Amino acid sequence: MKIAILGYGTVGRGTYDILQERKNRLEDQVELEVKKVLMLEKEVATCGLDKALVSTDYQEILDDPEIECIVEVTGAKKQGFLFMKEALEAKKHVVTANKAVVSKHFSELNDLADRYQVHFLYEAAVGGGIPILTPLKSQALLNNIDSIEGILNGTCNYILSNMQTKAWGYEETLKKAQDLGFAEADPTDDVEGFDTLRKLVILSSIAQNILVNEDEVALEGISNLGLEDVAYFKDQDLKVKLLASYGKKGDDSYSLIVEPVLIGRDHPLYNVDGETNAITLHGHNVDQLTFMGPGAGKYPTGNAVVCDLIDVARGSDLPLKFGDKTQSAENNIQAAYYISSDQDLNLPEDWFSNEGEKIDGHRARTKALPRDSVIGTLENLRKAGQKIFFARLG
Ligand SMILES: NC(=O)c1ccc[n+]([C@@H]2O[C@H](COP(=O)([O-])OP(=O)(O)OC[C@H]3O[C@@H](n4cnc5c(N)ncnc54)[C@H](OP(=O)(O)O)[C@@H]3O)[C@@H](O)[C@H]2O)c1
């Protein structure tokens, strides 16, 4: 199968290198050949590739009947979607790592692949190098998946782990993550949880075989976490993680929440530290499964892309056929919360009867409460100018 790689950055290079390095070994099973690499004009002179391989004109790739599959790894949101849409309409298979596009246009891209009878695969979009979507598709056929919890963003997990183990402040840890290349210059997508949200949309859609929308997810990031919070968690032998949680609630609804969660040693994700990602799911036949590994990086992510290419070339993937959506998200779960403020914290007295604790004048741990009432109250405190951090007690 002849391939065009769109975007020659971290993942594009990782994909290309693996295909070259494993060429001989792959040839026994499947023929994968990169015919073109699409890049921007400014990258051509320094890309180090044979000029015959390079293209700066997507139309040339679309018009080439020999190219059967495109690998979209530009990271571009609008253009990336158009690249994929046009490739599917030209009856070319699509493999991508672009979670922003898959999450937002899941239905349209999946439908196009179905209509034109081509493959659309995106293993690298969730969990980077962790094989999770391919196994999830088959587990979801055999199991009612009633819960998923995941640490899906390496930048957040690196920041949270290092704030906890090294007692570095939030800004200092973020800067270190940026220096090491784990965090983008603009870290908003990561630290405010948008990247995790997109991955939860993809996971929970596959798990339930219905399309979940981004706006169904309740979202809170980690950027208000302070060292005083972390010291309290350490005292309580707890770790804070940015968890993506999907939970089935009866036949009509499910919960979809991305927020900081405090977990103890008995939690399966307690020891997942640094930039590592992990996903744990529960199905009625398999019970609990945990997948763990590098959530990003040139070769882990390139590896996931090449796994998809093998499935495309062998025609061995399991296409998704989403069912009618009769359920919707209901995120008003009952949970206890840790809350801190940079000012005096006045919370309703009945949040503390029997359980819960006012730790000091600006920190508290509530009893189990309806999530909506907690978030509503905290939103009002934020509107009044307070800097609030909160985490669910897992
Ligand atoms: N990096 C990871 O570990 C990782 C892990 C999982 C998933 N992903 C996903 O994989 C995708 C690629 O990520 P990456 O880290 O490889 O990004 P990257 O290093 O920025 O590489 C993307 C490359 O594509 C180029 N590009 C942008 N628009 C283009 C266009 N219209 N035509 C041709 N080239 C174009 C970019 O050029 P400019 O830099 O000039 O824009 C850049 O060289 C993203 O969707 C990301 O979310 C990445």
257-291 residue pLDDT tens: 999 999 999 999 999 999 999 999 999 999 999 99
State whether 151 and 234 are in the same domain: yes
Sequential pLDDT tens for the chain (394 residues): 999 999 999 999 999 999 999 999 999 899 999 999 999 999 999 999 999 999 999 999 999 999 999 999 999 999 999 999 999 999 999 999 999 999 999 999 999 999 999 999 999 999 999 999 999 999 999 999 999 999 999 999 999 999 999 999 999 999 999 998 888 899 999 999 999 999 999 999 999 999 999 999 999 999 999 999 999 999 999 999 999 999 998 888 999 999 999 999 999 999 999 999 999 999 999 999 999 999 999 999 999 999 999 999 999 999 999 999 889 999 999 999 999 999 999 999 999 988 889 999 999 999 999 999 999 999 999 999 999 999 999 9
Is 77 annotated as catalytic?
A: no
Q: Does a structural domain hold residue 308?
A: no
Q: Does a structural domain hold residue 7?
A: yes
> d(Cα 160, Cα 169) in Å, to the nearest integer?
10
pLDDT for 355: 85
pLDDT for 353: 82
Q: State the amino acid at position 320 in one-letter form.
A: L
State whether 274 and 137 are in the same domain: yes
Which residue range(s) make up the domain with 37?
2-125
- Asked if 127 and 295 count as a contact pair (C-beta separation under 8 A), the reply is yes
Q: Which atom of ligand 1 is nearest to the CA of 11?
A: 16
State whether 139 and 118 are in the same domain: no
- The CATH number that applies at residue 20 is 3.40.50.720
Task: Tell how far the Cα of 7 is from the centroid of ligand 1, in angstroms.
Answer: 6
Q: Does a structural domain hold residue 306?
A: no
| pLDDT tens readout for residues 289-335 | 999 999 999 999 999 999 999 999 999 999 999 999 889 999 999 99
Three-state DSSP at 327 gives coil
Q: Does a structural domain hold residue 319?
A: no
| Tokens representing residue 165 in the block | 């183990």
Q: For helices 170-179 and 154-166, what crossing angle results, to 10°?
A: 130
Q: Which of 101, 125, 149 is the last residue of a domain?
A: 125
Q: CA distances (Å), 31 to each of 26, 52, 67, in order?
A: 7, 20, 13
| Tokens representing residue 250 in the block | 């009866």
CA atoms within 13 A on the CB side of 5: 27
Q: Are strands 120-121 and 93-96 parallel, antiparallel or unpaired?
A: parallel
Q: Does a structural domain hold residue 6?
A: yes
State whether 97 and 191 are in the same domain: no
Q: Which of 294, 314, 348 is the last residue of a domain?
A: 294
Task: Tell how far the Cα of 348 is from the centroid of ligand 1, in angstroms.
Answer: 47
- The CATH number that applies at residue 210 is 3.30.360.10
State whether 114 and 173 are in the same domain: no
Cβ–ligand 1 contact at 75 (below 6 Å): yes
Residue recorded with tokens 């706006």 = 215
Q: Does a structural domain hold residue 277?
A: yes
State whether 163 and 289 are in the same domain: yes
State whether 204 and 262 are in the same domain: yes
Q: Which of 40, 77, 189 to mutate to test the pocket of ligand 1 (most atoms within 8 A of CB)?
A: 40
| Tokens representing residue 340 in the block | 């801190």
Q: Which of 125, 145, 177 is the last residue of a domain?
A: 125
State whether 209 and 277 are in the same domain: yes
State whether 117 and 143 are in the same domain: no
Q: Are strands 328-329 and 253-263 parallel, antiparallel or unpaired?
A: parallel
Domain count, the chain: 3
